[in-house]
Structure 1
């Protein structure tokens, strides 16, 4: 990491040294559809693709320009529930990744046990909560400079030279290339400029936190401009592993982006972009949280097993932040790609955009899947490689009464995964009941090797029309036609310690016991389908600065395939019907109001919505090590509904505040054959006429459970974000500027951390508060100190159950209090 920071420092220094050369070459060329030239005056933000006439000098107070509908508009004029964050807010609040953004956007939920197992949801829906399965689509689309990122793992890196982030809530399939049923995160980076500019930022903090960011932009010739940005983050882990003597769950990130803009004339921009990001932390470890009784025999639950093996957790207080994991940990994660974007202003009212992109993702993990210091699972790693290609064409028309967007999108993806899992010397004692098999240690060295690949193809035509029927009354219909095809291959080969193959069925008693841990399987699922979706929005400007709107959307999330294996029948044969999952059918209703008052010093936006999903794609699990840790199935119906509030105020110069809130009621309406939570599982098989045992009482267990009416996992009913900043003019060290103090915070009520809600894995609600204090000079210098999680709140990001229904509960503690300082210079 030291070498990375030497490299980054050299680039930053080079940016400063090159200032005169760039300045001498500075061109004066401009374009009506000029690329990102972000500027902020008070609460005014001008950003991506803003037309030349939209500048801070002629934009009213508290107006934020966005491109959510693929054209430049004031946020308050767009009948969509949107949270918008500019670059300065992102930098100063420390929200430098999508995971951090959720602290500023209450309706956004991001949960990650490691980069691959990352769930990004809006209003409680988007992707199944739990282990990632590559065979399904994301419900929340992540876009960076118009390029779709197909897997959340490729979007968990530090933001790099970001100008603005827009979080769009609700279906967006008639506006965006890839269909998105829950919303979209639209990230726009700063673009090359024909005026020399740049920035350098250095942060140091507790836990040996070091972060360096640098960017430089300017002309290479009269018609060519370039921009280069780099970022590096390094931080010691927050959990100490007494087995290895290392701090785990560290940060080790490096990113670089380069862009070249070619502007042959005032009506055409062609931008070639390339980026690369790498992470190589010792991550991701858990801590012991506790024990919750299951229906397994008492001598096979965690306390008895641990006693027999002479094991005790290193600490029973998870916030001692101690672990004793004995397997290697790694979260090697590399992603990058290239894109070519062309924007042609055909005339004053129409433009054509083309985005051609290729991206890759390379994932190299190592995990400890028994969550203990015992050698139960000695190896668990599933490295994966992805290539994706996408092409989008878009035509925009803007007229006096008619606005329109028409687009076409094509997408191709290939994912290859090679998995290896192996049992250790404590596995037989942990899992088996036959004393002879335990004594002979028949599970030690049992190895499963997985080979799987996925080919996905998608194509769509989409469009949206806005018609101003009368002054203030607008009707906005949209439609989408989509085709999706998926082909998959999953093969698991299981061998014992001597290298002998374990058969998929039959075999001797030892092989049958071994197959209960790792079951051989071969499936080749496939899926293809056409879908049609549409939406209709009606908005009306009741008066100046007051707009109300209503939206109905009938949309879908395409079907998928199970890429991690499927359940087997009593003879060990895979249940092929479980290889595919049905498309989700989504109906969405929303009403809202966008208002400004007090001479535009205050903004208040409200939204209320109800979304129902039939054939909801849920993540289920049977709790075993390798039989199936997780697979996809359809729940009959889920529903999410709620109310959202976004309020900001600037009563006088130098004082700003905001309060955003969300009430989210998301539940399974009908899911009668769901997997049972651990307290209702693990026992003997229930027989006809026999009642299952009570929760947590050893005895017979039901094969499935009815969880209808239960809350969806990962969803807090109440969530808020709030902030305040005050600034006063100050002359310091010969520079004019302002002294400022800011606070921002977030609150989330409790949520379930298990796909089938369990009494043991409800994460308690928590509140996080951050402070910052600094000086902004008029010359671009910004120096400030910060404290995050200032009151050292103890909270969990996730709770997980150990395998085999032993009642072991592990968890991922959230970050403790951290503090530091930042120096930034914009030039």
Structure 2
């Protein structure tokens, strides 16, 4: 197809150039050339599973190359939140490696096993089913693409809000390697080594290895351990084989081990006075200390948590990409992958004190999962039409177990028969997913282009859940000796969900460098089973919860103006969201302890706009702006509300808001390249990102809601002539702004007023040195 034709030379250049509409080009790579030389290059992406110019993709897509993220000092994929409109990518509460993601108000905060996210994460087109271990460090990558809006036609698996694509580069034809070291605030010291080399004419091998270490931002004053530290390593091995000009094989294996201590969070309310006599004598270590000895701590990274320091997350996988070029028009592609993961830890301290007011005690393996996936694609490229037709299969299992210890809290509740109450929970869910899809782009004329797509998906799920109350501290689930006093949930059930998700768009090329498009797309995320469900309090939990769907209309413009001096990408969208899956947690009025249930809460409407623009004021100086606006409101919100004797389904839409969805967000930045002739060049990049006020949950809570805030970043990077040496200094959050990224909310005497806030990183400064050869 004419609009998709690109040269091999352009492809090589594209691997090192960021989306013009997001950030200025990485001109520091070749200091002897003017920035204007780079403005002529098109950006090639694979957002629609085939290589094409970004301008031709009728989808809101933002792209950051690995080199651009390096120049900005980005450490992991959460840095994309500052650079991409209407995107939330944050470290989930209580962890250092679990991902919370939202796009245009759609996502999923609850990281419980079996509860699938609303934003799909893909690594080299392999779907990552679990959020644990998904805080991917940025090293040895080509680019990251963020697709906003439903992507059900091509990606299907839980892309109702959008998709984040982590793309690694193919191995080069020449030997290459690089070594990088980072040192910085809080004792940071990292080492990253990567390289590749051909072995004969048809085989190439490559790999990367990274060590990440940093002291904690705070301290657990009970155990003396760090909180919010970094102790992880990651590695990847790749082999590429071309037995002929028509065949290509790529096998990749990766493993990450993260031994960072858990992020305990900060207690926002003081321990209730009711626990002051005797305050903590029921704790296993019998602390005879008054409650006011544990006030709200001044440092938001400090804690008094009695457990939860131990944390280990291991993720690993292997994938095989096979491509067979039948002729100039047709290519067959196969993507086979297996992944597994496990999380070890001693639990989560929800109350932030040494005593078990509200603790989650876990067995040795808290979470475990594995998945196998297979995708077949037929890529089509003709003069007037192109596209992809394919099929997808996934078999995944996720399981876990934990105890909720309510020892002292239970003692403070009237009519509870025991001061030591433990609620044990375990569950397992198996998912089998089948899909067929097609996405075709047709040139109606030289300027008009029609795109049609559709995907049929069937998800089959088998859920097993057990939950019971025990007398004593700890149930047999976590290795404890508690005595069973009340079974709550014990069932195995099966559900199947089918959905057809279409997409249609019409694009018009206003000129050779600008176009407009209008699109309609439908997204789908299947239902499932609540692994925490209490069948005694809410018997309907055994029937599972229903799918959620969204229908989105989008109008967009993409292009460059004034001889490529100004690039612009805008989008307006309107979405109808139905059956939104929301987790609610309450104390049960019938005194069975903590009640958690997943509701399909009703309907909502989401409207908004996005802007990404870069102005090249000179060949070496540019200003870029991104802006996102989201107006999300519930039209109907059906929730179980306690009436003192049980729970009644009630419409509470007027009292609910969208979580993790600021109305306004954006970034204003500049890039200035200083040529130094034979001594290389210096690239200076500064940016101010901002987010308006945000609610952590659908029910606003003043103690943990986040007010509007701004973050200031500045990077200065010198690159030698020939691109062999690179030395950088990167400052992040230079004003040391304090801001929340998550929370737990268990207020009241029953839970010991356990209202906990989790905070983003403080001011950090990192120096880096890299040698490429």
With normalisation by structure 2, the TM-score equals: 0.88
Q: Which residue of 1 aligns with 2:188?
A: 209
Q: Secondary structure at the match of 1:88?
A: helix
Q: Which residue of 1 aligns with 2:284?
A: none
Does residue 471 (structure 1) correspond to residue 437 (structure 2)? The answer is: no
Does residue 393 (structure 1) correspond to residue 376 (structure 2)? The answer is: yes
| 1:253 shift after superposition | 1.6
In 1, the alpha carbon distance for the partners of 2:494 and 2:518 equals 38
Q: Which residue of 2 aligns with 1:635?
A: 601
| 1:304 shift after superposition | 3.7
Does residue 744 (structure 1) correspond to residue 727 (structure 2)? The answer is: no
In 2, the alpha carbon distance for the partners of 1:230 and 1:162 equals 12
Distance 1:822 1:629, change over 3 A: farther
| Conserved 8 A contact 1:284-1:331 | no
In 1, the alpha carbon distance for the partners of 2:161 and 2:701 equals 25
Distance 1:705 1:674, change over 3 A: farther
* More RCO (CA 8 Å, sep 6+): 2
| 1:448 shift after superposition | 4.0
Q: Which residue of 1 aligns with 2:581?
A: 617
Q: Secondary structure at the match of 1:367?
A: strand
| 1:566 shift after superposition | 3.2
In 1, the alpha carbon distance for the partners of 2:693 and 2:554 equals 25
Does residue 646 (structure 1) correspond to residue 612 (structure 2)? The answer is: yes
Give per-residue Cα distances to partners, 1:343-362, cap 9 Å, x unaligned.
Answer: 12221222111000000011
In 1, the alpha carbon distance for the partners of 2:112 and 2:18 equals 44
| 1:776 shift after superposition | 1.1
Q: Secondary structure at the match of 1:84?
A: strand
| Conserved 8 A contact 1:171-1:181 | yes
In 2, the alpha carbon distance for the partners of 1:745 and 1:313 equals 40
Please point out which of 339, 350, 361 is paired with 1:359.
Answer: 339
| Conserved 8 A contact 2:73-2:715 | no
Does residue 410 (structure 1) correspond to residue 393 (structure 2)? The answer is: yes
Q: Which residue of 2 aligns with 1:178?
A: 157
Please point out which of 491, 496, 499 is paired with 1:523.
Answer: 491
Worse-superposed segment, 359-368 or 622-631 = 622-631
Q: Secondary structure at the match of 1:659?
A: strand
| Conserved 8 A contact 2:599-2:639 | no
In 2, the alpha carbon distance for the partners of 1:389 and 1:245 equals 41
Distance 1:211 1:313, change over 3 A: farther
| 1:704 shift after superposition | 5.4
In 2, the alpha carbon distance for the partners of 1:195 and 1:659 equals 37
| 1:750 shift after superposition | 0.9
Does residue 433 (structure 1) correspond to residue 392 (structure 2)? The answer is: no
Q: Secondary structure at the match of 1:100?
A: helix
Please point out which of 49, 62, 68 is paired with 1:89.
Answer: 68
| Conserved 8 A contact 2:50-2:387 | no
Q: Which residue of 2 aligns with 1:459?
A: 434
In 1, the alpha carbon distance for the partners of 2:464 and 2:225 equals 38
| 1:166 shift after superposition | 0.4
Q: Which residue of 2 aligns with 1:596?
A: 560
In 2, the alpha carbon distance for the partners of 1:549 and 1:771 equals 35
Please point out which of 446, 457, 464 is paired with 1:489.
Answer: 464
The two structures, once aligned, show a CA RMSD in angstroms of: 3.1
With normalisation by structure 1, the TM-score equals: 0.83
In 1, the alpha carbon distance for the partners of 2:534 and 2:576 equals 27
In 2, the alpha carbon distance for the partners of 1:764 and 1:392 equals 43
Q: Which residue of 1 aligns with 2:551?
A: 587
Q: Where do 5+ consecutive residues of structure 1 fail to align?
A: 1-30, 48-55, 292-300, 503-509, 676-680, 688-700
In 2, the alpha carbon distance for the partners of 1:204 and 1:67 equals 35
Q: Secondary structure at the match of 2:658?
A: coil
Does residue 813 (structure 1) correspond to residue 737 (structure 2)? The answer is: no
Distance 1:88 1:257, change over 3 A: same
Q: Which residue of 2 aligns with 1:52?
A: none
Q: Secondary structure at the match of 1:96?
A: coil
| 1:179 shift after superposition | 5.0
In 2, the alpha carbon distance for the partners of 1:494 and 1:768 equals 46
Q: Secondary structure at the match of 1:763?
A: coil
Q: Which residue of 1 aligns with 2:362?
A: 381
In 2, the alpha carbon distance for the partners of 1:498 and 1:154 equals 30
Worse-superposed segment, 782-791 or 97-106 = 97-106
| 1:162 shift after superposition | 1.1
